[in-house]
Structure formats: structure tokens, C-alpha cells
Structure 1
Amino acid sequence: MDLYKHLESPMILKISFNELLKTYEQMLHSDDEILAAKAKRILEIQKPYPELREGFTDLSLLETYKKEIAIILQDSFSPILTNNEIKTATVPFQNIIYNASNRFQKILKNAGDDFVLKIENMPEHDTYIATCTVILNYCYGYNLNLKRPFFYEIPDENGILRYYKILYNADFCEIIPTEKAVKITQEDYDVLLDNYDNIELWKEKFPPNSYIFKGLVISNIFDVTDDQSISNVKSSLISKDKRSDENFIERFQGVFSSLLGIKDIRVGFSIYNKEEDSFEPVYGEGMHSFLLNANETTPCKSALCAGSYKQLLEEKKFYTLSDVDKYYELSKGKAPQIAVLKNQGIKSAILAPIADDNELLGILEIVSNNAKVLNSINANKLIDVMPYIVSAVLRSKKEEENLIEAVIQQECTSIHPSVSWKFRKEAKVFIQEQLKGNQAVFNKISFEDIYPLYGQIDIKGSSEARNWATQQDLSLQLNSVKTILEAAFKEEAFPIYEQFIFQIDGYLEKLNIDFQVDSEQQISVFLKNDINPLFEYLSKFEALTTLIKSYQETIDAKVGAFYKHRKNYDDTIASINKKMASLLDKKQVEAQKMYPHYFERFKTDGVEHNMYIGESITKEDSFNLIYLYNLRLWQLQVMCEMENAYYKMQSTFSIGLDVASMVLVFNQPLSISFRMDEKQFDVDGTYNARYEIVKKRVDKAYIKGTKERVTQKGKISIIYSQKQDELEYLRYIKFLQSKNYLDTDVEIVELQDLQSVTGLKAIRVSLLYSANNKEKTFYSYNDLIKEINN
């Protein structure tokens, strides 16, 4: 086999002992007769074989001259140290070894017959360039330092991975340019300095086989398993997405196996909750706590005995169990930490407190199914890695806190992405002022000259539906109480029972005839103060026990009253809002891609939304009115789609409710600012306040001269004040009619004046509803209701 036949390198690699033999030639003249004699003997042994000086690439010659090579290398590989030193003679940057100490040979033997030796951290790309830098230093006198620690990863006889660092001795080498070699100029050197990753450039300056390497490299190898394991712990802990990496725990356990020299150990974690004085699991792929086992959370004093609690939580010391079964017997199974480990088949364990500045953060759990392999002695090897685990837990804790804050902000106090840039900008200013020691004030967040859009899909008759549901529940509850009181009167003819029955009849009559806002409260107080204490007394009568128990089982625990019809109402409202909001959110993602704008929505008895669009929000010189017109058309179309979606699912609701849609058009740009106390945007200025007044009241407005509300089921109402808005929206309506979103019954009406607001008009038009699997594709509202009821 030829050494360089299948190897792409700037150097032809020749194994040669010339430089080493030159050293022995110098030793011939030594005053030490023994050294001189030894040098003479080695030179005489080599003399018949000139290729040992000239160099060779045929690896078969290593076997041919095996005896001679061993003698030449005898001083470099001392027989006295061969069982102790890990040493090889090798070809640079290659996994070719032709002489090795006994200890290295034993290491390879223990690794197994199928083990293939290779330098783990030497990519092929880097090998070529590393060789070029050696040439630059040796032949051109530069001082480029590309020294990196190289490692072998070799399993021992137990299959535990061990790490060996390689240090090269290249004293007995020479590099000779061939006719292919390109003369490297200072200009070439300067270009190469800035192009490490440009392999083609390096090959241009150092063509393959353009230099000859003659010599040998002696590798001094050291077992650095402990150091490398600690380094691997650090690398594992700083990696991203540990919790979602299904291989993280497996790799982490492998690192600790190498560190402790023990096969088949497992690693777990439990987090300490200081407020609750409890242990909690770490959630993530493959994460497990052996202390908790399958429990979600466990009080520390229930998870640990008094002694282990003191050792781990108070003294912050390692707690070890070398023989779980033995200590289980000694404790008679009463020590909870031993019992939980034994139940999982664990035979030995180390529990290491993860503490920072005497504050406990969690517990590192290392366990084995073999007794005595984990103990108080090898637990001390964890001392060097605990600081990195502490750092990782602190970082993870901070990340979790940030994530919690992000979730709270997203779900509770969301700042829309379109305006978050301005909040970040002001937050940076705030922090800078704090760092300077100044009194920091968070500046006002405002946006000028933006156009508002508002829309709502309102649930019609929601107040009447709630009142009806409340009446039904209260009637059911009062009649149930009346039945029990009538039965009680048969047991004891107390006049007070008749008085309560008379009072209940009065409440029932009031519910049926004149239900007032305060009726519910009056009845609730009566039931709480008079009836509930009475039923406690009546429970002693065996004849009443079943009736009272049945009554109490009907009471909803959270509401404290009958909650059947109101639950149907609440569930229906919540379901409508959820469906409508979900559809709007999904559509809004598409709208943001058209042009960025501010968006927010609210769930009430229906779903409202605000949108603001303009130059000051986008922060770019790109706004054009066409984006406003596009968003207005998009809004109108989405409102139609939301109505369609609602009526398609209306039959699934327990209460039949209708919805009505409305869009408010405001022609002039306005200013908005963020109200810190309310955590939302609001309009600025007296003129702009007119917009908010209209927005809050217009859905209850009447058509001028009538008692008809402007918003009606089956219709979409577009509220405006300017003629140009009317013309604009009539164009949109005509377009949507062509798309079968809207019917042809367009009407323009005037609205009665609102407080300090006059001159409002509305365009009203019926929606068309599509139905699945029907011969007729589109329906008016009345047609749709007939279809639903059929």
C-alpha cells in the first residue's frame, strides 16, 4: 500500500529516519563511551538499508524493516517505560502508527477488534490547510500558530469512553519543495491570512504533492478523560434546546460514565421550589427525576428523611447511598429517599445539591443498578463539574423566567410586533439613563398621522338571553327549595316554613313578570342567609336527607347556585368568541404580509378589533394610501367570512343566538399613544376623541326618525360621515357582490345624533351565506334560517 496514493495533501509523506540518524552521528563524538558505542551500533544497523534515510511511501516496508526500525527507535521508546508511557511513531495528521508502546497497544486491544483508531477532531478540509501552514512556517519562516489539541476517543474494556490528548514531537522532520511548488510571496501570504476557509485558494498556492515530507513524528499521548469529561459537561450544558433534544440526556449520561469510570449510570434532576419547599421535575425530552419518580411535585420533607434533608438542603453536602438495599433494611423502609430509589431498582446513588451562594437550586441525581459503584469517594469527582452545572441551572432559570414573562406579555399584556420596535427603543434609552445614574423615565409611546379601522361582530340579544337563562336557573332552584320546605312542614308544622314558601312564591312571580337587575342578588342573599343554614338543620330528618342531598349535588361549586341554563349561555358566548377570534387572528397574519400595521382585538359579547396603519408605525418611507384602501377592503371581506363561519356552526350551540356586524370608517388620520396604566393604545387630542365616542356608542344608534337599530342580524353596517367614504365603500360592496359575499339590497341611512357627534350615515347591505352540500349555493339571512330549521 502506497502512503499517499489515496491521500490528497500538499506534501508527499515519506517515512524517514534521516534526521534522527543525524543526531546519532553527532553522538559518535560524545565523551560518553556508552552513548558513542550505542550510536555506532544503530548507524551500522541502518547502513545496509539506505531507504531508511531516503524515505519511503510503501507501507509494506514497515514490516520488512520492523526489527531495524525498533532498534533505531529504541531510545525514543524506552523499554523501561513502555508499560507506562502512551507513545507512538506516526505519520503527521494521519491515523498510521508503525511503532507503539506496550501500554498503547494494550489500550487498543481493550477497545475491541472492531475499533478503528482515528483523530476525532481533525476534519479532512482542516488537514490540508494545517499541512500548508506547516510548510509556511518551515520553508518560509512565518510563525503561524494553528496548534489545536487533537484527541483519540477510545473505549476501555468496560465500554466506557476515555479521552487521550495527542502531543506531536516533529524534531526529526524535513520538508523539501518539488518542481510543482509555487513560490509564496508576501502578497500571497497576506491573501491567505484572510481566506482560511477558501480551500481552492490554498490548493492553488500549495498544489497537491508539491512538497516532500521526510521524517517521523513521535506522538506522546496522555489520558485526559477527567479534563475532557469536565469540558464535555460544559459543552453539553451550554448547548441550546437541551430540553427538546431527545439525545441530550443520553450524551450527558455518557459524559458522567467517562468521568466516574462507571458504565450504565443514569442522570436525573429535580428543581427546588423555595416558596413551596418542594421538589419539582425538569420538563424536557428524556428528563427524569429519580427522587420524584412519577410525581409532579413532592414536599422536600416528604421526599427526604430528616438526616438527608439536613445534609442536602441545609449543609449543601453530597448525599450518597453505596448500597440502597442495605440502607433500606437498616431504615426499615421508612426513609422516603431510599424507598423511592429501591422501588425503581436502583442499587447505589449520589444526590448532589446544586447550590449558588448557599441558595439551593436543585438536586443532581446519579444512580446505578449496581451496588457500591457509586459512593462517597467517587462522589468527590463531581466537585469539579458542579460549578458548571450551577451556572447552567442559573442560566436555565433565567431563561425560564424570561419565557414566563414572554408568555405573560403575549397572553396578557401583548405588545403588537408592528410597534414593538418603538418600545424596545425607549427601553434601551431607559436602561442607559439608569446606568448613568440618572432618574430614568419611560418616554411616551405615540404615533402620529395614522389611519384607524374598527370593526365588530356583536352577539344580538345577548343581555336578554342571559336574563332568560338566569330566570330559568333561579326558578329551578327556588322550586327545588320549595319542595323541600313543603316536605319539612310535614315533619314539623313550623310557621317559619310557610313564611319561606310564601317568600319563594313572591320571588317566582317576580321572575316571571318583572325580572329586575337586582332580582338575582336578592334571591342569592335569601338562599345564602336563610335557606342554606336551615338545610343544615333539616338534614337530621331522614325523610329529607335524600331531597337535600339531591339539591346540594345540583349546586355548582364555583357559582354556588343552580348553573344549568346560565352555563349553556356562558359556554355558547365563550365558544362564539373563541371561534370568531381564532378566525380573525388567522386572517390577520395574512393581512400583515400585505403591509405591516397595528392590530388588537377584544372579546366581549362578540369580538371587536382595532387596526392602525401609517408611516410612523412602519418606520419606513413606504406608506401609500393604497395600503389603507387595501386593508379596508380586506376588513370588509373578513367580516363577511366571519359571519359565514358563525352561521355554519350555529347549529352546534346549545343556545340559538344571532350576530350583527359593523365597520366604522374614520376619514382623517389621528394620533394614538400608549396608556401605561391601562396597557393599551388610545387616541390623543380632543378632535381625535370624537372617534372613540363614535366607536363606543354607534352600534346602539338608531336610524334617524325610527326606533330601528343601525346594526341588524343578517346585515353588515358601514358607519361613515364623508361622501368620499360612501363612494369608496360602494365600490367595495359592488366588488364583493360579484364575489357573492353581499346581496343587492344596498341602503343608505342617516343616524340620529350621538352626544356631540352629528352627521353620521350608514351603508347597510345583507350578507350572502354559503351552505355546504346544498343545491343552492348562496342564501340570504332569511333563506339561511329556513334551511337551518328544516
Structure 2
Amino acid sequence: MAETLLKMNETAPVPTQASVTLSFNPFLEYLKKRLQSERTVKAEYYRHIIERFTENPAWKTGLPVHDLAAYKELFEIVYFVLTPLAADDKENMWGLSTPVPTTLFYSTESLSRFFADNNTTKEPSSIASENCKVSKDMQFMYGLVLERFYNISSLAKNDTVYSYADTVTKLSRYYKVHVDTQFVEIRVNGELPALDYDVLATYLHDGTGSEALICRLKKMLPLDSFIFEGFTVITLTDVTAQHSLDKIRGMMVHHSYSNDQYLEISQALKTIAGNEHIEFRLVPIIGVNGKSTFASNEECIQSILMNALQESGITEEALNTFIQKYQNNPRILVYNGISSEEKAEDNFLRILKKTAVESYALLPVYYHSELTGVLEIYSEKEILFDERLFSKVQTAIPLIAQLLKFTRDEFQSQLSNVIRDKFTSLQPAVQWRFNEVAWHYLQRNFTDLSNPEIEEIRFENVYPLYGAIDVRNSTSERNRAIHEDIKSQLTLLQDTLSALKTIDESHTKPDGAMDEACTHWKEQIDGYFTSRDEIALNNFLETEVHPYLLEVQESYPEARAIVSRYLNAIDEREGAAFKNRSELETSLQLINTKLNQYFDVAQKMLQVEYPFYFEKFRTDGIEYDLYIGQSIAPEKKFETAHLKRLRQWQLQSMAEIARLTQRLLPQMPRHLHTTQLIFVHARAIDITFRNDERRFDVEGAYNIRYEVIKKRIDKVLIKDTRERLTQPGKIAIVYFNQQEALEYIGYIRELQQQGLLDDSLEYLELEELQGVNRLKALRVGVKYH
């Protein structure tokens, strides 16, 4: 134990007129009360202690602060009474201080050494203004006075947390200093001054701070009216782990999940571990379509695992396989001394060996029994990762689990936003109406418990614009690709059966009828090949050929390579038997991707002028409906000029799209050409959102006629000919009356002057369709150069 006087605050306090006396008297009064109620053997100890104190006359008077050596035995008795018998003096930070805790006069060696080494208080102990000086001592005394005599505890703060840099670990450590004031007695010198509680309430609740309140109290409640007697008990508790956990919890409360915050959490975990050479990283595991993967976003940039895997050149498929394997059997992985490990067959270890990491651990993190991610612990030094370290980190695992769960939820929210933005028909132009209807529904649902119907979403008097970009002869191209692939597969099958004969005819014994069937199907495919024939061929391959080949492959090792070549060839993704179909799909996908990109950019720019609803439909090309009118944007005046601007854009876009698809030909494995079609409908229509189909549809008998015409004009012929209206390199504009034609002729003339269209403008009459007659069309060629 140490009796050295030690200032707990290096700066000089602001003088006060209060009487402060170091005394054992409050402590003895405490023992006497305990003696009266104690019925165990402790009573004899209390009686003996009281006698030892009363034998020393100094207990009745104040103790001189600078001459306390004579009272060492009494201090030891106080320590004996107030601390557990099992407390270790070397670890227990405990001490006695003056009634106003400015001077530590008796303490354990650990506490004395701590204050001597780490007295790093940076805050000034007093705050001075022109007419008022406030010290921490003054705040302490007023806090006790208000609590003891006026039942106001706002200023009574006996616990303080502060940090210091550990000289060994170089990390911040946090300690809570607790001041026990139960052995401080306060007496009033004269009458207790009265307080104006209304004035105090203003200072306590308006956020002006304790300093302003103390300055006010100095006038209302002078400290020379009080006598402080006794001593305070000082205890220090290491709260580093709890402080670090509170820091993590604070980030969660404020939803701070950026990469910087993740690194701060990593630093907090390092503080808990107490080793500056250990690093921590959090890696969420996200789910997409029932499959798990590590989040490849900002939170994982610092992951040593992700970086090592990416630098190793691992494929996404291999990475997902690793994750799935780990998820099926989550466990703690520990590698101490990676450079000296000899398990070269461990792929995971081989990847880590290429980094500067010497020690590595991977801990699974669960939230409600669901694996939400992993915690990486690693170091570039060889450190023993053992149960002691894991038990320290374990205190933070529940918070880390919540954090990873929040990250997963945020990812799913982002995923939903992308889907809603990119793939659904709900667009900003009509979002306001859906919000309005949803709000009305929630209001009615709150007051009407009978599950009211949701109101209809309807836009009246909107002008439709319809366009279609179609791939010419896509059906025949697809049939041709299928036929070529089937012939290729049958040829390969015949070669496979012939190769099997050469191995060991007595063993394999391929059925001769199977080879004859292949020849039959090859001849059939060159003739009239129906969908029924295709079904029969697939049945022959799946029920006869493939079971036979799999049996041969399993039974005869020498046949495995031959059969494998055939099975690889019929792989739908990369097999040679799907080459033509794959090339066709690649070409179609290229066209559709570029068209979608074009429309996404174009319609967003046009929306600035006036909001409209735009919906695309995937065919072998792209069809779209565009609706514009006052009901879609009630807050913005709709004018005919807005409709004309869109019609002009529609024609211009068709010319640009024709050029675009022509430029794509060199990139297409199979050359495909597009046709461009516009249908002009001059009258406004009504559209209604169909909840069952999750899309807008026209309303009313006349409006439905518009839909019927749209569906029938894609393959319409020119009257009295066998020529289709739509042709590659041309734009066809279908209309009913001359007024509509004149408007579009004007747009055509402008685009001809701009060099987008050529001079081959045609005026055409179209064949009669079922329920539709008197249709006419304009057709004009596109200039590719």
C-alpha cells in the first residue's frame, strides 16, 4: 500500500471558501450503525475496529493532510473493511482521497502507480468568465450540496471515463473513475439558504451547461455556508471492452455502415483484444436466389480473404462453391504460423501463404441461428490465436451479428430498388398516383377492419404512341439453327456409336437399330420437320440413347472419353450441338441489349420536358407503349406541342435504331436485320392498371380496338400484293386518316434534310384485316451512311 500524497488534478483549483476537513468521523458513524443491526460474527469485528479508532484521539479532530504516516494502521483498517478479502492489491485500483477528491493520500500500489504514470488530464479544471470562475472542485461540492439538501441530482456525477495510450500495446484503454461519497458528511453553517427553483430549472433544462448554473449558485448558495468532513473512496475499473462495445452499438444506432465505420469497428475490436498487431475485418454473407456469396461491395474492400481470393484469379463459380461448402459446415478456422504450415493440399491455405499474413482465423457469425457473415482475425506476425483471444472477442459477437444482419437487409433493399427501377412497370411519372392510392388504402384499412378494396388506378384521355422493332425472319432463323444443331448432334452420335464398336464389340454391343435411327432422323430433318417430329426425336435421345451411353460409360473405363466427348457436345451452354442456337441467341441478346440501353437513355431525357408513361415488351425485338396526357402530370399543363415533340422523337428514334442495328452486324455471330414500325392513333384513350397482370391496359370498347390493331399490323401485307409492309432498312408508319399522314410527312421531310432518311417515301394501302379496314401506311428508307 502507498501513503504518498498524489494530486489527482495537476492544475490548481479555483479557491473556495468552503470548510473541508479530512476526518474518520463519518466512517465511525457508519460502523456504529452497522454494529447496531449486525447479528453475525461481523459484530465483533466492528466493535474491535471502533475501539482501535477511539484509542487514537485524532479521530475526533481533523487529520493533517501532510502528516498522515501516523495513521497508517487506521487506513489499513478502512481498506480491510471496504474491500473484499480476496481482492488482489496488485490488481485492485483502490484509494482514499480528501472529502473533495483532489489529493490521493492512501492507495494500493496499482492505483498510485497508475495516477503517477498516466495523469494526462488535458481539460482545464476551471472555466473563467469576466465575473465568474468555476472549478471542478466547485462543481463537485455544489453537486453534493444540491443532492443532499435539495434533492437535485443533475450535477452529482461520481463516475468519469477517460482514456490513455497504453505504453505496451500502443492502444487506447478506458478507465472509469468512481468517487464514493458515502463517508463525506456535509453540515450547514447557520441556516440552510433558500433556492429559487424556477430559476434553477431554467439553467438545468435550457442547455446552458453546468458552468452557468454554478455561477448562478455562487450568488444564491455560497459555499462558506457548508462544512465538508470525511474522506472519499476512489476506485478505478477497466472499462475498455465495454467502451468499445458501446462505440460499436452507437454506430448501429445511427446506421453507420460505410467502409470507414467498418474500419472503426475493426479498431474497436483490436482494443478489446489488447494487441495492436491483430487486425479484424467483417465480411457479410448475402443471399441471391437461395445461393450465398460474400458481399462484393465497399464493406469488403479491406477483407484480406476477398483480396487474396481475387488476386489468386479464382473464378466466381469456384468462390461460390467455397462459400457454399463453408456455409454447409461453418466452423472456426485457425492457422497459426502460416509460412511454416505444410498442408499444401489445402487450397485455402495456399492462397493465404501468398499474402503477408502469418496468423489467420475465420469465425462464423450467427444471427438467430442463421449464418450472416464471418469475422476475420489476422496478423502479419505469428500470434497464437486461442480460446483466450476468442473469449475476449465473443463479447462483441452479438453486436457484430446484428451489424451483418443489417448489412444483408440493406443489400436486399438495394436489390429491390434496382428491380423496381429497372424491371417493373412502375415508373416515376405515375409513382405519385400509386403513392396516393396506397395512402388512401392504409387510411381506410385503419378505420375499416373489413379489409376494404383498393381503389382503381386509372389515367383518362392520354395519347398513345406505339412502336415495334422486330427481327426479320426470327422464327425461320430459329428453326434453321435448331435443324443445323440437331443434324450436328446426330452426326456426332453416329461417330460416337462407331467409336464404341472399335473398343470391344463383344462388350459394348451397340444396337444397330440406334445407328439406323440416327440416319432416319438426319434424312427427316432435311425434309418437312414438324414440332411433333422434334418431340419424338427428343424422346428417342432421352429414353434410348442417353441411358445406353451412360451405362457404357459406367461399365467400361476405356469408353468414358468417347462418351464424354458426346456429352460435352450436348451441353446447352457450351456444347457444339448447340452452336447455332447459341449464336442466334447471342445475336438477339446483342440487339435487345443495345435497344434497351438506347430507350433507357432517350426516355429519361424526354421525361424532363413532360412526364409520360413508357413500357417496353420483349419479343424477338422490342415493342413499346408510350402514354402522355394531362392526367399523368396534373400539376403541369399539357399542351399539343408535347405530343408532337414525342411523335417527332419516335420517328427519329426509329431511324437511329435502324442505323444502330446495322452497325451491330459485324459483332453478330449470325447476321440479323430489324424492321421498324409505328402505329399512329390520333384520339386519346383511357388506361387502367390491372392488378392481376401488374401492367396498364386500355379501357373501353373503342380503346380496345386500338389494342387489336396493334397486334395485327406486325405482319400486314400491302394491298393486292404478297409483300409485307415492314422491311429491313425502312420505317413503316401505319395510320387511318390523311391528317395524321400530313403531320408525319412533315417530320419525314425534316429528317431527310438532316440526312437520316432517304428520298424513297412511299404511300401505301394495306390489306384488310379481321375487323380492321381502310388502313394506310407511309414507308421511307433509312440512310445508313
TM over 0.5: yes
Deviation at 1:662?
Answer: 0.9
Deviation at 1:225?
Answer: 3.5
- Corresponding residue for residue 599 of structure 1: 614
Deviation at 1:507?
Answer: 4.3
- Corresponding residue for residue 752 of structure 1: 767
Tell me if 1:514 matches 2:528. yes
- Corresponding residue for residue 276 of structure 2: 263
- Corresponding residue for residue 486 of structure 2: 474
Matches within 5 A, 1:16-415: 19-20=15-16, 76-80=102-106, 103-104=114-115, 106-107=117-118, 153-157=163-167, 158-163=169-174, 225-238=240-253, 240=255, 242=257, 245=259, 247-269=260-282, 281-283=294-296, 284-286=299-301, 288=303, 296=320, 351=363, 354-356=366-368, 361=372, 364=375, 366=377, 375-376=387-388, 385-410=396-421, 412-415=423-426
Q: Distance in 1 between matches of 2:289 and 2:473?
A: 47
Deviation at 1:263?
Answer: 2.5
Deviation at 1:705?
Answer: 2.2
Answer yes or no: is the 8 Å Cα contact 2:308–2:352 preserved in 1: no
Deviates more, 1:363-372 or 1:227-236: 363-372
Matches within 5 A, 1:576-587: 576-587=591-602
Deviation at 1:708?
Answer: 1.8
**CA spacing shift, 1:300–1:497, aligned 2, 3 Å:** closer
- Corresponding residue for residue 734 of structure 1: 749
1:626 aligned counterpart, secondary structure: helix
- Corresponding residue for residue 422 of structure 1: 433
What letter is aligned with 2:428? P
Q: Distance in 2 between matches of 1:132 and 1:675?
A: 74
Matches within 5 A, 1:681-700: 681-700=696-715
**CA spacing shift, 1:129–1:82, aligned 2, 3 Å:** farther
Deviation at 1:569?
Answer: 1.9
Deviation at 1:429?
Answer: 4.1
Identity percentage of aligned residues = 27
Answer yes or no: is the 8 Å Cα contact 1:458–1:606 preserved in 2: yes
Q: Distance in 2 between matches of 1:526 and 1:561?
A: 20
- Corresponding residue for residue 35 of structure 2: none
Answer yes or no: is the 8 Å Cα contact 1:292–1:303 preserved in 2: no
TM-score normalised to the size of structure 2?
0.65
Deviation at 1:701?
Answer: 1.0
Deviation at 1:730?
Answer: 1.4
**CA spacing shift, 1:273–1:147, aligned 2, 3 Å:** same
Deviation at 1:523?
Answer: 3.4
Q: Distance in 2 between matches of 1:371 and 1:676?
A: 61
Q: Distance in 2 between matches of 1:507 and 1:532?
A: 16
- Corresponding residue for residue 455 of structure 2: 443
Deviation at 1:595?
Answer: 2.0
Unaligned runs of 5+ in 2: 1-10, 24-57, 68-97, 140-151, 180-198, 210-233, 310-318
- Corresponding residue for residue 766 of structure 1: 781
What letter is aligned with 2:483? Q
- Corresponding residue for residue 701 of structure 1: 716
Deviation at 1:360?
Answer: 6.1
**CA spacing shift, 1:266–1:435, aligned 2, 3 Å:** farther
**CA spacing shift, 1:84–1:500, aligned 2, 3 Å:** closer
Q: Distance in 2 between matches of 1:131 and 1:767?
A: 88
Q: Distance in 1 between matches of 2:495 and 2:749?
A: 62
**CA spacing shift, 1:108–1:727, aligned 2, 3 Å:** farther
TM-score normalised to the size of structure 1?
0.64
Deviation at 1:641?
Answer: 0.9
Deviation at 1:274?
Answer: 11
**CA spacing shift, 1:385–1:363, aligned 2, 3 Å:** same
Answer yes or no: is the 8 Å Cα contact 2:717–2:723 preserved in 1: yes
Q: Deviations over 1:97-153 (max 9, x none)?
A: xxxx974552268xxxxxxx8669xxxxxx999999999xx9xxxx9x999999865
Tell me if 1:631 matches 2:646. yes
Q: Distance in 1 between matches of 2:729 and 2:454?
A: 47
Deviation at 1:674?
Answer: 2.2
1:700 aligned counterpart, secondary structure: coil
Q: 1:457 aligns with which of 456, 466, 469?
A: 469
Deviation at 1:535?
Answer: 5.6
Q: Distance in 2 between matches of 1:711 and 1:320?
A: 65
Deviation at 1:567?
Answer: 2.3
Answer yes or no: is the 8 Å Cα contact 2:614–2:627 preserved in 1: yes
Deviation at 1:584?
Answer: 2.1
- Corresponding residue for residue 570 of structure 1: 585
Tell me if 1:524 matches 2:538. yes
Q: Distance in 2 between matches of 1:461 and 1:230?
A: 66
Q: Distance in 2 between matches of 1:563 and 1:489?
A: 26
What letter is aligned with 1:259? I
**CA spacing shift, 1:459–1:303, aligned 2, 3 Å:** closer
1:452 aligned counterpart, secondary structure: strand
Q: Distance in 1 between matches of 2:386 and 2:531?
A: 71
**CA spacing shift, 1:84–1:73, aligned 2, 3 Å:** farther
**CA spacing shift, 1:118–1:465, aligned 2, 3 Å:** farther
1:263 aligned counterpart, secondary structure: coil
Question: Between Structure 1 and Structure 2, how many residues are aligned?
Answer: 637
Q: Deviations over 1:150-183 (max 9, x none)?
A: 9865322121113468999xxxxxxxxxxxxxxx
2:733 aligned counterpart, secondary structure: strand
Q: Deviations over 1:621-661 (max 9, x none)?
A: 43222211111111211111111111122122222222111
Unaligned runs of 5+ in 1: 1-14, 42-71, 86-100, 110-116, 121-126, 169-185, 197-218, 313-318, 771-790
Deviation at 1:700?
Answer: 0.9
What letter is aligned with 1:623? F
**CA spacing shift, 1:130–1:264, aligned 2, 3 Å:** farther
2:744 aligned counterpart, secondary structure: helix
Q: Distance in 1 between matches of 2:129 and 2:645?
A: 57
What letter is aligned with 2:459? F
Q: Distance in 1 between matches of 2:582 and 2:429?
A: 38
Q: Distance in 2 between matches of 1:496 and 1:380?
A: 68
Q: Distance in 2 between matches of 1:648 and 1:248?
A: 48
**CA spacing shift, 1:260–1:375, aligned 2, 3 Å:** same
2:661 aligned counterpart, secondary structure: helix
What letter is aligned with 2:482? T
Deviation at 1:596?
Answer: 1.8
- Corresponding residue for residue 743 of structure 1: 758
- Corresponding residue for residue 212 of structure 2: none
